[in-house]
Structure 1
Amino acid sequence: MGIVWDTADAVFAENLAAARAYFAEAGTLAAPRHATALDKPVGQWLTNIRKPCGLGKDPVRAERRAEQLAAVDKEWNPALLGWTVDWQRHYVGLATLLADGALLTGIVPGVTYRGDDIGRWLTRQQRDFTRLNEEQHKRLAKLGVQPAVQARTEAGLGNAAFQRGLTALAQYVEREQRAVVPRQHTEQITIDGQDHEVRLGVWISNQKSRRDKLSGGQLARLAELGLDWT
């Protein structure tokens, strides 16, 4: 007969329905604050209920509501996992693009998903890889994401000259999809806003001739880029 016993639960149920509708489209409840669904401000609502006591002061009711949200998206509150809503939304966007057939090398700044620049976010994750937690590392690794060359310096990858050569090789392999570099080839790279010209073919030949002096980390990175002699 349309009797509403508890108006608070009724409002929650309406917003939960909107959250389900949003999830069906976006694949996540990590909605931006301005997001709407079913004419409801679902983004703001999700922001509010993630706050302390956002699900109500009654612990039984709060637990029930949390279970209802988890039934829609078990990661509806990314703070419990150790990262932000923004990170979660971009991660889902990256995973969706890859699942739809995009190549990781093709997701560069300017490539977007539902209005978010996934390419720029991906570049930032690779650059700041060491700042992420272990679970974030695992999730990105499952998608094939590796830290940028600069982020590997702490792992014993050597001096600036080696770093420049490694950056040039990574750029070449990404573009050509092979690690066979003509000896006379020169690669143009940009590091921290500065342009560099690397005689890549000669550099690789030099690394090969002195491979017994390279560190394990250096050899491992060169192997990752396809140099079979490592």
Structure 2
Amino acid sequence: MSFNVIDTEKQDWARGWAALKKFTECELHARVPYGHKEGAYPLGQWVAEQRRAYGAGQMSGLRARRLEKLGMVWSLADERFQENLQAAKAYHEEHWTLCAPRTATALDRPIGQWLSNLRRPGALDDHPEWEAALQAVDEDWNPQWPAGWQRHFAALRELVRDEEGPAEVLPGFTVHGMDVGKWLAKQRKPEVWAALADGQRERLEAVDVAPLAPEPETPAKPSTATVSAFERGVAALTQYKARTGSVTVPRSHVETVAIDGQEHAVKLGVFLSNTKTRRAKLTADRLQALAALGLEWAA
């Protein structure tokens, strides 16, 4: 009696490899959907099992190398990242920054939304190698300040790259739809400059941008507060008494008096007559002011 030992596991792996080879020759890649069957063979499930075995360290180096020659992708997430990274590099080459608006696309990929998702807190905690790859393209891909500010700065930096000394970028100078000149003028305002983060000021200073000098304080203008008719009358009577020594004023007399740099023509006689008539309605302070000038009826 003789026995023929058959290694069924080895035969099954060989069938899976052959099915994957056929798939890659037809599709030109090895990204097999989980439910895909190559003929009657469940190739998608077999590929998923190979990834599991590889990740668990249960696959021999020979098998891993044979699969890799067919283009085997051990991590679909890593592959998608690399594809998007190539699109990000294309965007950076044209726009000089990875702080793309969410609507931005490159190589037919929604690169703006992809980068925005990666900038969310904790998004790259499990993938430090991804963050390092992005920083290698643009060290300011995820700034501490708004992405819009970084886009404007990147455009400004490119504009003045070959300039010697401070470059003049006037409002109205537009790059990629951004008015870089208007943005720069705003950054130089003393109150805006003071509100910038240290890193923002450092980057502006690196391209010879400095804040504008504070505007000199304007002298205080003479008070334009409204002077009441009573105050004008008291001032006119004070001036009249100082000049004549009397508080007896003809009814038709007009006294011109200067208050806070402005001249007022006060009908002093009429003022005194009307005030005496309405003395019952005057406050104690006003009666006291009139009495102090020598008007007996106000005492």
Displacement of 1:141: 2.0
Q: 2:148 matched to 1:86? A: yes
Match of 2:217 among 159, 163, 179: 159
Match of 2:136 among 71, 81, 86: 71
Residue 46 of structure 1: SS of its match in structure 2?
A: helix
| Whole-angstrom distance in 2 between the partners of 1:77 and 1:93 | 17
Displacement of 1:77: 0.7
- Structure with higher Rg: it is 2
Other-structure match for 2:79: 10
Match of 1:144 among 208, 212, 219: 208
Residue 78 of structure 1: SS of its match in structure 2?
A: coil
Distance 1:102 1:96, change over 3 A: farther
Match of 1:43 among 112, 120, 128: 112
Structure with the larger RCO, 1 or 2 (CA within 8 Å, 6+ apart): 1
Structure 2 length as normaliser, TM-score? 0.46
- 8 Å Cα contact 1:97-1:113 kept in structure 2: no
| Whole-angstrom distance in 1 between the partners of 2:155 and 2:78 | 32
Q: Counterpart of 1:29 in structure 2: which amino acid?
A: L
Aligned-residue identity in percent: 43
> Structure 1 residue runs of 4+, over 6 Å off?
none
Match of 2:122 among 35, 53, 71: 53
Displacement of 1:129: 0.9
Displacement of 1:102: 9.7
Q: Counterpart of 2:88 in structure 1: which amino acid?
A: A
Distance 1:103 1:118, change over 3 A: farther
Number of residue pairs matched by the alignment: 148
Higher helix share: 1
- 8 Å Cα contact 2:171-2:182 kept in structure 1: yes
**Which blocks of at least 5 consecutive residues in structure 1 are unaligned?**
162-230
Q: Counterpart of 1:119 in structure 2: which amino acid?
A: G
- 8 Å Cα contact 2:165-2:208 kept in structure 1: no
Distance 1:102 1:46, change over 3 A: farther
Q: Counterpart of 2:202 in structure 1: which amino acid?
A: K
Other-structure match for 1:224: none
Instruction: Note the alpha carbon deviations across 1:6-65, whole angstroms, 9 max, x for none.
Output: 22111111111111111122221111211111111111110110002323xxx4x42111
**Which blocks of at least 5 consecutive residues in structure 2 are unaligned?**
1-69, 220-299
Kindly report the root-mean-square deviation, in angstroms, between the aligned alpha carbons of the 2 structures: 2.1
Other-structure match for 2:245: none
Other-structure match for 1:62: 127
Other-structure match for 2:95: 26
